[in-house]
Structure 1
Amino acid sequence: MPQLNLALIWHMHQPDYRDPVSGKTLMPWTYLHAVKDYGEMLKTAREFPGARMTFNLVPILVEQLERYMAGEADDHWLEAARKDPQLMSADERRFLLTQFFSVHGERHILPHARYRQLAQKRGSIALAANPDAFSDQDLRDLQVWFLLAWSGHHLRQEQAFIPYLLEKGENFSEQDKLQLFDLYDEEVAGVIDLYREMEEAGQIEISVTPYAHPILPLLCQTAIAREATPGIQLPGAAFRHPEDARLQVRYGLDFIARRLGDRPRGLWPSEGSVSEEVLRLLKEEGVLWAASDEEILAKSLDKGQELRQALYAPSSFEGLPLLFRDRELSDRIGFVYAHWEPERAAADLTGHLKSIAREHPGGVVALILDGENCWERYQDNGYPFLAALYGRLLQEPSLRLTTVSEALAASPGRPLSRLAPGSWINGDFSIWIGHAEENTAWEWLERTRRDTLGDQAAIDWKADNLPEKALHLLRAEGSDWFWWYGDDHSTEQADLFDRLFRRHLEAVYRADGQAVPQHLHSFIKPPHRKALVHEPTALFTPLIDGRINDYFEWLAAGAADLSAGGAMHASHRQFSMLLFGYDRKHLYLRLDPQEHLPSLIGACGYLQIRLASQEEWLARLDPLRQTLTLQRPGEEAVVAEGQGACDQIVEMAIPLAPLELAAGNTLTLSIHLLVDGEETARWPAEGPLTLNYRGEELEADEWYV
C-alpha cells in the first residue's frame, strides 16, 4: 500500500521590533526565541535521521537575527536584563517588575521556588509593585530567572552552566548573569548557519514568507476583503498596490537566497492569506509552491467535491502547486497536546495519521503551524513530545515524513478552477481590516505611499540596493501592526505595536526628505487604560473551598470592577472586585468580602447571581449551608446544582451546560444580596456587567510571542 506523505511546515516569524527613528529594539522576542526555539527545533530534527520536514522563515526575522549577531540590536529589554540593579533608577527597577514575569507561569514560574517567591511578592498587578520593596539581589535573581525561562532543552543539555544556575536557584551574581548572556549570544549567532548547513545537507527544506509578513491580497486590493466578508466596512481610501505585493515576494525570496543559498523555494503566504491575483503573482515570481488553510480549499471546491478527498491530495491553481493544512491536526499540536503526557500525545496524533493513511493511501497531509510559540506550554520546551512524535512517525510503515517539495513531486496536483480569497483565520481577512483602527491604519499607509511616491506604480528595485524609503514602506505593510488593532486581540504592549507602525510611516517621510505629518504623532490605538472588565487569560479550575490556597490558583482569572458608579448603602462596599473565569464545565466566580459574609447577612440572607445570555438564570448561594443552585426566574424547580463556599473568600462554580453558551456569546451578570427576601445591595450599582465568553477558543486563540 502506498505511504501517506506527511509534510510538516514549522513557521518561524517575529515582526521587526526596532524603532526606525530611535534605532532601539523595543521588544526582545526575536532574540529570546532564537535562544529557545529556532536552533532548538533544528537540533531535535537532526537527532532523527530520515525525519524530513520544512522550516518556513520570514526574511524580517532573519534580518533581526543578523542585527543581534552583529551587536547592532540595541535591545531595551536585554539592556535591562544586563544592567546591575545597584545602578538602576526607580523606573528601571519598576520595568523589571512589570515585564520580567512575561513567561508561562505553570511551566516556568511555579516549579521554581525563587521565581515563584518573587512573583508572589510582586503581586498580580505589576504596576502597583513598589520597587523599593525589592532588594538588588531580588532584582538580579529576577533577571536571571527570566533569562533561564528561555533556555531550551538542547541548550540545557549542552551547557553545564545552565543546570548549575537552575540548581543554584538564588543569590546569583553579576558574573553568573553575564556568563549566561555569553552562552545565549553564542546560541543566537549560530542559528542562521545551522539552517544553511542542514538545508545544504538535505536534512530540511527551507521555504519563505514575503519579506515583512504582509497580507498580500490586501496589498493587491483592500476591496478583496468584501469578497471574503460581504458588508465589511472598508477604509475610506482604497489601497491597491499589487506592485508592493510583488516587491514583498521578490525581495523576500532574494533576501533568503543571498543568505541561505540560491535555489527555487516554496512560499507560505503570511497568515495563509491568498487570492487568485496573489497566486498568479507568486507563479510569475518563480515560487515553487504555496500553501494555505483547509477552509480556503472548502470554499474553492466545485459543488459536489468531497473536502477530505481533496484535502489529502495536492492541488494547483493555474499551474502553481498548492497544499492546504489539516486544521484539526495542526491545531492539536499548537493548542491541545501541551498538557498531555508526551508519549500519549504522539500516539494520538500518529493514530489519526494512520487512519488517514488507510483512507487516502499515497496522499499528502500538510501540518502547518507556528514553530516557536507553543513550546513554552509544553514539558521541557516540547522536546519529549517532538522526540516521541518523530520516532513514531519514522517507525510507522504507512507514513512517510517528508518535505513539501518531495511530497508534491510524488503526487501531481489536481487543478482548481477557482480559488476563494481568505486566510487561515476564519477564511477571511477580518483580523486585519474592517475595524475603525485597522481602517485608519490602511488609510494612513495609503496616504504615506501617495505623499512619498506620488503616482509611481512601481519602486525602482535592485536586489542588493533597495532604497531605505522602500524598505520602511515594506515594513509598515507587515501584518503584525494590523493584528493588534481592533478588538480581536489584546496585549499589554499594544501601544508599542501602534508606535512601531507609525514610526515606520514616519521613516518613509524622513527617507524622502519630507517633514513628518502631524497626524502620525497621534495614537491609532489609544494607550492601554484600566478597563472595567479584564478578560481571563486561560481556562482554569480552582478549588471551591472559600480559602486562599495559592496566589496562582486564580492567576488566569478575569477581573471586573464592582465599585464603579457608587453604592446605594454603606454595606455595598462589601465587594469591590469580581474575579471570574471558566473551564469546560463551570463558570467560576470569586468575591473577597471585607467581613465574614455568613456573619454579616445571618441565617436568612443569601447571594443571588443574575445571569442572562440566550435565557435568564438565577444562581443562589446560601453562605451558611454552603450550597449553590441554578434555576429559572419565577420557577421553584432547581435545574442544576453547583458548588459554593464562603470562608475567607466567596467562591462559586456554576454549571455551564444549562446556560448553553457558545464561544463569542456575551453574558450579563449582576450580584444581589438578599436578606429576608429583600434586596439590600447589588453590584455593580449602575447595571450588570457584560462579560465575553470565549469557551475553548480562549485556549486555542491564545497569542504567544
Structure 2
Amino acid sequence: MTSPVPGAFCLVLHSHLPWLPGHGVWPLGEEWLFQAWVEAYVPLVAELDALADEGHHDVLTLGVTPVLAAQLDHPRMRRDVATWAGMAQLRATEMGFSDDPHRRAAAAREHALAAKASDLLAGRWRGGGSPVLRSLRDAGVVELLGGPSAHPFLPLLLPEVASLALANGLADSIWRLGERPRGIWSPECGWRPELAEPLRRNGVGHFVVDEQLVRDAGGHPHAAWRVAGTDIVAVPRDLEVTNLVWSSRTGYPAAAAYRDFHARDEATGIRLWAVTGPSSAEGAKAPYDAELADAQVDRDVAHFVDAVRHRLGHAHATTGAPGLVVAAYDTELFGHWWHEGPVFLGRAVRALRAAGVTVTTLEKALDAGYVGGELALGAGSWGAGKDFSVWDGPLVAEVAHENEWLQRRWLDVVRGERAEGRLRARRPDLDQLLLTLWNALSSDWAFLVSRGQSVDYAARRAQEHRRDFHRLAALVEQGRADEARAEAARQAMDDRSFPALDSRLRAP
C-alpha cells in the first residue's frame, strides 16, 4: 500500500437496452439482450461478487434503467437467455472437432465461458435481475441509480411528462428493489434548466452530466456542483480519465492483443481473432491469444492507476482541495464490446486501492463533501456536439415532432378521462397506453438513426409504437371501452414492460 492520494475516484456504469421482447431476434431484437446479459452483466456481477468476497465495499455506482431491469426480470427472457447460453456451448462443441489447433483452443475457451455463464444464470441469477441488484446494494458493494421509465431523452419532454417519466421509473425501482434510489442517470446525460423542477419534485438528489456542461458554466470537473437555486447535485464525468477506456481510437479496448469484437467465424459466430491493428482486415488479423490479452490487461490497469493518481494530484494542485474524478461508461462496453473489460474493472479497483486511491460511490463522495459550489448549468448532453442534435437534428426532426404530439395527446386523453370520473379504478387500457408511450419515446430510436446504425430497425420500432399509441388512444377517446381493452391486451402481449405501472399516478 502506497501513501494515500488526496481526493476520491468514482466509477459509474450505465446499463441500458431498449425494450426488446417480442421485437425481433437477430441481428437486432432479443439476442441483443442475451448477448449483453451473458457477455457483460453476468461476468460483471461475478467480478463484483469476487470483490465483495475479498471485503471490498463501495466499489462503483451502477445505473440500471427501469426498462432493462424489467427485461432482466421477464420470465420468458430469463428462460430464453439460459437457452442462448446453452446454444453457445453447443457451437463451441462443434468447433472443437476442428483439425486446426487454434480453433480447438478457442472452442475450449468459449465452451468454458458459456458453461460458467449457464451455471451463474441457473444459480446467482435464477430469480432474475432484481435479486442480484438488491443483494449487491444491500451488501454495500454498489450504489444503484434510478432513472425515468423507458429511457426517454428528458430535455425534449414536456415538463409534466418528464416528471411523470421520473415518477414511473422511480416507482418501478421501489417495486423491484424495495428502495427509492437517491440518484438517477439522466438518459444520454441530457440536461436543461427546466428539468430542475421535475427532478426536485421527484426527490432526485444527484445525477451525472458531461464535463463540458460544467466547464461551460464556469466550473471544473474535479468536483460535483449544486444546480443553482436547488439542492440537486450534478456530477461531471472526467473526460481525460474516461477516454482512456472510452475512446474508440486510442482507448484500451483498441489494443492489438484484445479479442476483436467484429471478426467472427462464419459457421459458429465465435470470435477467433485479436484486434491486431486499427486497419487490419479480417483475413490479416492475428489469432487471439488469451495469455497475451491477460498481460495487456495488467499493463492497462497499471496505466489507468497512474492516470487516476496523476489526475487527482492535478485536481488538488489546481483547486487547493482534494478532488473528485468520475469515470462513466456504458456497462455493455465491459464484456460485450470489450471481452476483457470485466477483468480489467476488477483488477483496476484492487490496484487503485492498493495505490492509495479512495474508490467510492457517488453517494458516498457527495456525503464526504466533494461539492464545489453552485452553478447555473446550461443545456447539454454527452451526445455528439454536446447538444440535443442527435435526438432532434435534421435526420430525426420528424421523430422529435411526432414524440411531442404523442405527449400532448397522452395529456389530453388523461385529462378527458379524469374529467369524466373514469379514473377511480385501475384502467388496463390506459396503463398500456402509457407503456406504449414510454416505448415510443425511448431515446434509442433517434440515436440509432442519427448514428446510421440499424436505421431500419430503429425507424420501424419508433413507428410501430407510435401507431399502436394512436390506435389505442383513439379507441379510448371514442368511448369504445371493449375494443380499447382488447387492443390493450394485444399490445401487452409484447409490450407489457412495467406490470406494476398505474396510469392513475400523477406527476408529483
In the superposition, the TM-score normalised over structure 1's length comes to 0.51
Q: 1:463–1:496: structure 2 CA closer, same or farther, 3 Å change rule?
A: farther
> Where in structure 2 are the equivalents of 1:190-229 lying within 5 Å?
190-219=128-157
Which residue is equivalent to 1:320?
232
Higher-strand-fraction structure? 1
SS across alignment from 1:311: coil
Q: Distance in 1 between matches of 2:390 and 2:176?
A: 32
Q: Distance in 2 between matches of 1:462 and 1:348?
A: 60
Deviation at 1:354, TM superposition (A): 1.1
SS across alignment from 2:335: helix
| Higher alpha-carbon deviation: 327-336 or 342-351 | 327-336
Which residue is equivalent to 1:622?
none
Q: Distance in 2 between matches of 1:245 and 1:196?
A: 26
Are the counterparts in 1 of residues 125 and 132 from structure 2 also a CA contact under 8 Å? no
Deviation at 1:387, TM superposition (A): 3.1
Q: 1:59 aligns with which of 66, 80, 83?
A: 66
Which residue is equivalent to 1:242?
159
Deviation at 1:322, TM superposition (A): 1.7
> Where in structure 2 are the equivalents of 1:153-164 lying within 5 Å?
156=113, 161=115
> Where in structure 2 are the equivalents of 1:240-389 lying within 5 Å?
241-301=158-218, 310-317=220-227, 318-335=230-247, 336-340=251-255, 341-359=296-314, 360=316, 362-378=322-338, 381-389=340-348
Q: 1:475 aligns with which of 436, 439, 459?
A: 439
Q: Distance in 2 between matches of 1:197 and 1:463?
A: 35
Are the counterparts in 2 of residues 8 and 403 from structure 1 also a CA contact under 8 Å? yes
AA aligned to 1:196 is R
AA aligned to 1:421 is A
Deviation at 1:507, TM superposition (A): 2.2
SS across alignment from 1:47: helix
Q: Distance in 2 between matches of 1:462 and 1:430?
A: 41
Q: Distance in 1 between matches of 2:140 and 2:462?
A: 38
Q: 1:74–1:353: structure 2 CA closer, same or farther, 3 Å change rule?
A: closer
Q: 1:511–1:342: structure 2 CA closer, same or farther, 3 Å change rule?
A: same
Which residue is equivalent to 2:285?
none
Deviation at 1:255, TM superposition (A): 0.4
1:490 pairs with 2:428: no
Are the counterparts in 2 of residues 472 and 507 from structure 1 also a CA contact under 8 Å? yes
Deviation at 1:30, TM superposition (A): 1.8
Q: Distance in 2 between matches of 1:116 and 1:287?
A: 59
Deviation at 1:243, TM superposition (A): 1.2
RMSD of the TM alignment (CA)? 3.9
Q: 2:364 aligns with which of 403, 406, 422?
A: 406
Are the counterparts in 1 of residues 312 and 324 from structure 2 also a CA contact under 8 Å? no
> Where in structure 2 are the equivalents of 1:635-654 lying within 5 Å?
none
Are the counterparts in 2 of residues 254 and 463 from structure 1 also a CA contact under 8 Å? no
> Where in structure 2 are the equivalents of 1:434-473 lying within 5 Å?
434-436=393-395, 438-451=396-409, 453-454=411-412, 467-473=431-437
Q: 1:26–1:81: structure 2 CA closer, same or farther, 3 Å change rule?
A: farther
Deviation at 1:3, TM superposition (A): 3.1
Q: Cα deviations across residues 327-366 of structure 1 (Å, max 9, x unaligned)?
A: 1211212341125411111111111111123232522111
Q: Distance in 1 between matches of 2:199 and 2:208?
A: 11
AA aligned to 1:411 is G
Which residue is equivalent to 1:507?
468
Which one has more relative contact order, counting CA pairs under 8 Å at least 6 apart? 2
AA aligned to 1:469 is L
AA aligned to 1:482 is A
Q: 1:450–1:325: structure 2 CA closer, same or farther, 3 Å change rule?
A: closer
AA aligned to 1:502 is Q
Q: Distance in 1 between matches of 2:336 and 2:84?
A: 23
Q: Distance in 2 between matches of 1:365 and 1:463?
A: 49
Q: 1:77–1:357: structure 2 CA closer, same or farther, 3 Å change rule?
A: closer
| Higher alpha-carbon deviation: 475-484 or 37-46 | 37-46
Q: 1:20–1:31: structure 2 CA closer, same or farther, 3 Å change rule?
A: closer
Q: Cα deviations across residues 410-431 of structure 1 (Å, max 9, x unaligned)?
A: 1152333411101012220111
Are the counterparts in 1 of residues 225 and 374 from structure 2 also a CA contact under 8 Å? yes
SS across alignment from 1:424: coil
SS across alignment from 2:145: strand
Q: Distance in 1 between matches of 2:397 and 2:417?
A: 24
SS across alignment from 2:456: helix
> Where in structure 2 are the equivalents of 1:42-53 lying within 5 Å?
42-48=45-51, 49-52=55-58, 53=60
Are the counterparts in 2 of residues 39 and 191 from structure 1 also a CA contact under 8 Å? no
Q: Distance in 2 between matches of 1:458 and 1:278?
A: 26
Deviation at 1:75, TM superposition (A): 7.2
Q: Distance in 1 between matches of 2:241 and 2:37?
A: 26
In the superposition, the TM-score normalised over structure 2's length comes to 0.69
| Higher alpha-carbon deviation: 2-11 or 368-377 | 368-377
Q: Distance in 2 between matches of 1:412 and 1:268?
A: 19
Q: 1:456–1:384: structure 2 CA closer, same or farther, 3 Å change rule?
A: closer
Higher-helix-fraction structure? 2
1:432 pairs with 2:391: yes
Where structure 2 has 5 or more consecutive residues not aligned to the other structure, the ranges are 256-295, 477-508
Which residue is equivalent to 2:76?
71
Larger radius of gyration: 1
Deviation at 1:475, TM superposition (A): 1.5
Are the counterparts in 2 of residues 19 and 503 from structure 1 also a CA contact under 8 Å? no
Are the counterparts in 2 of residues 346 and 389 from structure 1 also a CA contact under 8 Å? yes
Q: 1:34 aligns with which of 37, 42, 64?
A: 37
AA aligned to 1:311 is P
Q: Distance in 2 between matches of 1:510 and 1:81?
A: 40
